């Protein structure tokens, strides 16, 4: 009996040991640990449970998308380069233009099961540039309206029937602003990047650049409409020029009535508010019901390894992270909307979550409006973003008119486009 | 190695060994200095003449044209101007207030250590953490600074959100930060003044505190003052943390300062060539400040 047992152990060891030696290690890098650390840990633990032959190791995360991108550009082609990283959707193009990162198209073509896993073409298009599939969208978001129902009520509004157009938002914001005691009516997150500006531009049905990307197209009626709305936020909605952090803190402290920002910040806002007031969310006010759209924020999982032996395993992990299980972890953990369509409907993943957490519904209900966040071409692509923000800030400070701001902004952006 | 008056003496075996040992002992530092200081500086200098970009293989040589572009770059000029204004606000204020406080603390025996520690606290605390505290103090709707203003019936100030105020607000934080360091340096300078000089001045008819200050203290503090002024200016030129955490150069470039612009150009816009050229200009500015200090120090303020 003893002999058999030890023989069995020996045989097991003979089979198991070589298998152990073949463990694939996937090195993963991600940005914004304050948003994603918990989510990443859950996903990798679950993946390793399902795939005992794979070991996932994290390199130290980067605080922002910009720093994450910079790290990948610096380490491209070196031994330190991680196998997978999560890159901001509006920065994927920088990688595509520099030929860094692996095109996923061949892997998707060879994957017979891909169509059944909830990856729609709309989703794929978020990370596609010039026919190259740079990655799979991991976390996606759209802008929503956060509001302090207590302040709305105090100002005579009805928190159960919030305004659905900007024309109704401004008078309500002005009433909240008049409450005094340092209370601010509204804030709109125009600082940081061009994302919230494009929400207003796309809302009018406008576009950023012409199809050949040679000419600015936001200098028309739609762009002017967007800037006029920002002008009215200040004039009619009494929005002060705030630094971005000050706006977040103001809202969380219960001093701002209505705030427009990404649904991705929802979990953070819920934690920040901590039950101090009746926090609610709603849809973005509609500008043009037929032509209007909203930009998609978030990031995509990108494959960086060039080691052919490793690539299939890395592809499998990317698909897992961006797939229904990944979404079922990301959505409750952050507030991002499920990019995977299977995850949203299936009770195994998120079907029941939304009934229990109505705050998360605002972003979900706007999913059919989402179009890609525009990434500008050429080596000034990132600088363009700052140019737009700088011009918005002059307008918010009321040192210019919408017409003039649009003119300066479009001239400056045009100059930064590749000639 | 050369004995007095005689012919150069040949090195003995012992001398050779000593030289070798000396070289060996210097080597680690020399190698590290070369690898971590000299070579990177040369690399930055080299890159500054190119249009290098992060992630793009290869680059073009632009020569001095890279620098010519820099001086037509509005963002860079703005940063240059903002930094100059910031230094002009922070350096004089923190030096003068630091000196006055040092004199007050020096004059009072009781609680000297206490006040010294209190004013020195900002120097030892982490700037980024302190920046968050200032962010709270300066918050437009619930910040204590505005609440105080309101209490006295004064209008609220948008400290960090308005392009007209932002640089002054940042300078205020800068002064608060530099104050303690200057104060401690002045205190050290004051204790070094020979007490006999005051006695001698009194004999010569210097009676009031005011004239005592101008005839003895101020001249004797000369070297200290010069050192404090230069170090404060250099530190002010290097302002970065408060801008990066509080304003990110905004609104509309109103708080764009040199170091932050360099960071953004290189690491956000990925234009390594341009950022290197900016860095070279930045280092040149610092070197000029240092040079002025050493030159003046050698010539004018020497009483010892």
> pLDDT category, B68, cuts 50, 70, 90?
confident
pLDDT single digits (tens) A181-217: 889 999 999 988 889 999 999 999 999 999 998 999 9
Cβ–Cβ contact A74 with B under 8 A: yes
What pLDDT, on a 0 to 100 scale, did the predictor assign at position A155?
94
What pLDDT, on a 0 to 100 scale, did the predictor assign at position A173?
95
Burial of B186 (0-12, 13-18, 19+ CB in 10 A): buried
Dist CA A224 CA A206 (whole Å): 10
Cβ–Cβ contact B55 with A under 8 A: yes
Count of domains observed in chain B: 1
> pLDDT category, B4, cuts 50, 70, 90?
low
Domain hosting B240: range is 65-134+166-299
What pLDDT, on a 0 to 100 scale, did the predictor assign at position A16?
47
Instruction: State residue B119 phi and psi, 5-degree precision.
Output: -75, -20
Dist CA A338 CA A138 (whole Å): 9
Residues of B in contact with A250 (CB under 8 A): 139-142
Question: Residue A187: how many CB atoms within 10 A of its CB?
Answer: 26
Mean per-residue pLDDT, A169-187: 93
Instruction: State residue B131 phi and psi, 5-degree precision.
Output: -60, -40
In a domain? residue B255: yes
Residues of A in contact with B136 (CB under 8 A): 249
> pLDDT category, A290, cuts 50, 70, 90?
very high
Residues β-bridged to residue A148: A279
Measured between CB atoms, which of A66, A182, A397 is closest to B141? A182
Cβ–Cβ contact B278 with A under 8 A: no
What pLDDT, on a 0 to 100 scale, did the predictor assign at position A33?
87
pLDDT single digits (tens) A322-335: 988 888 899 998 89
Looking at CATH, the fold of the domain delimited by A22-141+296-371 is given as D-Maltodextrin-Binding Protein; domain 2 (3.40.190)
In a domain? residue B259: yes
What pLDDT, on a 0 to 100 scale, did the predictor assign at position B1?
45
In a domain? residue B178: yes
Dist CA B111 CA A97 (whole Å): 64
pLDDT single digits (tens) B101-141: 999 888 877 888 888 888 888 888 888 888 889 999 999 88
In a domain? residue B22: no
In a domain? residue B256: yes
Instruction: Find where tokens 């070297």 sit.
Output: B223
Q: Do A250 and B141 touch (CB under 8 A)?
A: yes
In a domain? residue B203: yes
Instruction: Find where tokens 């004064």 sit.
Output: B154
Q: Which residue of B has its CA nearest to A416?
A: B269
Cβ pairs bridging A and B (under 8 Å)? 101
pLDDT single digits (tens) B18-57: 889 999 999 999 999 999 999 999 999 999 998 888 877 7
Measured between CB atoms, which of A70, A100, A394 is closest to B252? A394
**H/E segment holding residue A143:** strand A143-148
Residues of A in contact with B158 (CB under 8 A): 240-242
Question: Residue B94: how many CB atoms within 10 A of its CB?
Answer: 26
pLDDT single digits (tens) B147-199: 899 889 888 888 998 889 999 999 999 999 999 899 999 999 998 888 888 88
pLDDT single digits (tens) B187-228: 999 988 888 888 888 888 888 888 888 888 888 888 889 889
Mean per-residue pLDDT, A360-370: 90
Whether A286 has a pLDDT exceeding 50, the answer reads yes
In a domain? residue B142: no
HSE-CB at A197 with a 13 A cutoff on CA atoms is: 31
Whether A12 has a pLDDT exceeding 80, the answer reads no
Answer whether A146's CB lies under 8 Å from A281's CB: yes
Looking up residue B210, the CATH number of its domain turns out to be: 1.10.3720.10
Burial of A105 (0-12, 13-18, 19+ CB in 10 A): middle
Whether B94 has a pLDDT exceeding 60, the answer reads yes
CATH architecture for the domain at A143-295+376-416: 3-Layer(aba) Sandwich (3.40)
Q: Do A243 and B270 touch (CB under 8 A)?
A: no
Q: Which residue of B has its CA nearest to A183?
A: B141
Residues β-bridged to residue A209: A216
Cβ–Cβ contact A64 with B under 8 A: no
Residues β-bridged to residue A303: A84
What pLDDT, on a 0 to 100 scale, did the predictor assign at position B303?
54
Whether A5 has a pLDDT exceeding 80, the answer reads no
Residues of chain A with CATH 3.40.190.10: 22-141+296-371, 143-295+376-416
HSE-CB at A194 with a 13 A cutoff on CA atoms is: 25
Cβ–Cβ contact A249 with B under 8 A: yes
Whether A18 has a pLDDT exceeding 60, the answer reads no
In a domain? residue B3: no
The tokens of A300 are what? 């995509």
**H/E segment holding residue A261:** strand A256-262
């Amino acid at each position: 009996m003893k002999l058999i047992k030890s023989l069995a152990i020996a045989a097991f060891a003979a089979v198991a040991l070589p298998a152990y030696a073949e463990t694939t290690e996937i090195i993963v890098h991600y940005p914004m640990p304050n948003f994603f650390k918990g989510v990443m840990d859950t996903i990798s633990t679950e993946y390793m449970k399902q795939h005992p032959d794979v070991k996932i190791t994290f390199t130290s995360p980067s605080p922002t998308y910009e720093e994450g991108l910079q790290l990948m550009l610096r380490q491209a082609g070196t031994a330190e380069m991680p196998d997978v990283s999560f890159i901001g959707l509006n920065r994927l193009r920088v990688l595509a233009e520099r030929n860094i990162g692996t095109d996923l198209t061949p892997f998707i073509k060879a994957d017979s099961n891909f169509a059944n896993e909830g990856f729609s073409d709309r989703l794929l298009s978020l990370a596609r540039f010039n026919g190259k599939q740079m990655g799979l969208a991991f976390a996606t978001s759209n802008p929503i309206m956060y509001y302090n129902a207590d302040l709305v009520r105090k100002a005579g509004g009805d928190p159960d029937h919030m305004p659905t157009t900007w024309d109704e938002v401004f008078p309500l914001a002005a009433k909240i602003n008049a409450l005094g005691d340092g209370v601010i009516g509204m804030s709109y997150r125009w600082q940081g990047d061009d994302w919230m500006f494009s929400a207003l531009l796309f809302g009018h049905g406008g576009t950023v650049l012409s199809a050949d990307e040679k000419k600015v197209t936001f200098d028309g009626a739609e762009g002017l409409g967007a800037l006029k709305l920002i002008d009215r936020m200040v004039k009619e909605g009494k929005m002060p020029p705030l630094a971005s952090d000050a706006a977040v803190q103001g809202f969380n402290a219960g001093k701002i009535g209505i705030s427009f920002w990404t649904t991705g910040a929802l979990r953070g806002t819920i934690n920040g508010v901590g039950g101090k007031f009746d926090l609610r969310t709603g849809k973005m006010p509609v500008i043009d019901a037929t032509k209007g759209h909203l930009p998609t924020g978030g990031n995509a999982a990108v494959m960086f390894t060039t080691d052919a032996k490793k690539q299939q395993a890395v592809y499998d992990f990317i698909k897992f992270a961006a797939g229904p299980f990944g979404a079922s972890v990301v959505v409750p953990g952050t507030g991002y909307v499920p990019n995977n369509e299977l995850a949203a409907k299936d009770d195994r993943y998120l079907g029941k979550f939304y009934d229990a957490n109505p705050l998360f519904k605002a972003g979900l209900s706007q999913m059919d409006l989402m179009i890609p966040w525009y990434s500008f071409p050429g080596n000034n692509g990132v600088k363009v973003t700052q140019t737009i923000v700088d011009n918005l800030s002059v307008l918010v400070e009321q040192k210019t008119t919408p017409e003039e701001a649009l003119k300066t902004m479009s001239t400056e952006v045009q100059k930064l486009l590749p000639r | 190695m050369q004995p007095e008056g005689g012919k150069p003496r040949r090195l003995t075996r012992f001398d050779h060994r000593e030289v070798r040992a000396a070289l060996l002992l210097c080597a680690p530092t020399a190698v590290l200095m070369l690898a971590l200081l000299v070579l990177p500086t040369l690399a930055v200098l080299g890159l500054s003449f190119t249009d290098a970009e992060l992630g793009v293989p290869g680059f073009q040589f632009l020569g001095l044209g890279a620098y010519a572009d820099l001086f037509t770059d509005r963002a860079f000029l703005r940063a240059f101007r903002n930094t100059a204004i910031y230094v002009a606000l922070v350096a004089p204020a923190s030096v003068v207030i630091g000196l006055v406080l040092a004199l007050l603390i020096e004059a009072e025996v009781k609680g000297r250590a206490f006040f010294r520690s209190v004013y020195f606290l900002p120097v030892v605390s982490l700037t980024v953490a302190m920046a968050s505290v200032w962010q709270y103090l300066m918050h437009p709707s619930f910040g204590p600074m505005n609440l105080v203003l309101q209490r006295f019936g004064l209008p609220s100030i948008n400290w960090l959100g308005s392009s007209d105020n932002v640089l002054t607000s940042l300078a205020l934080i800068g002064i608060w930060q530099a104050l303690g360091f200057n104060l401690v340096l002045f205190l050290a300078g004051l204790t070094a003044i020979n007490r006999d000089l005051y006695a001698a001045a009194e004999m010569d008819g210097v009676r009031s505190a005011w004239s005592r200050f101008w005839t003895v203290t101020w001249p004797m503090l000369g070297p200290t003052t010069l050192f404090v002024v230069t170090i404060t200016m250099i530190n002010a030129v290097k302002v970065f943390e408060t801008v990066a955490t509080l304003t990110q150069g905004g609104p509309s470039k109103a708080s764009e300062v040199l170091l932050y612009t360099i960071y953004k150009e290189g690491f956000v816009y990925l234009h390594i060539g341009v950022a290197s050229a900016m860095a070279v200009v930045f280092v040149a500015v610092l070197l000029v400040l240092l040079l002025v200090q050493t030159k003046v120090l050698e010539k004018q303020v020497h009483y010892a």
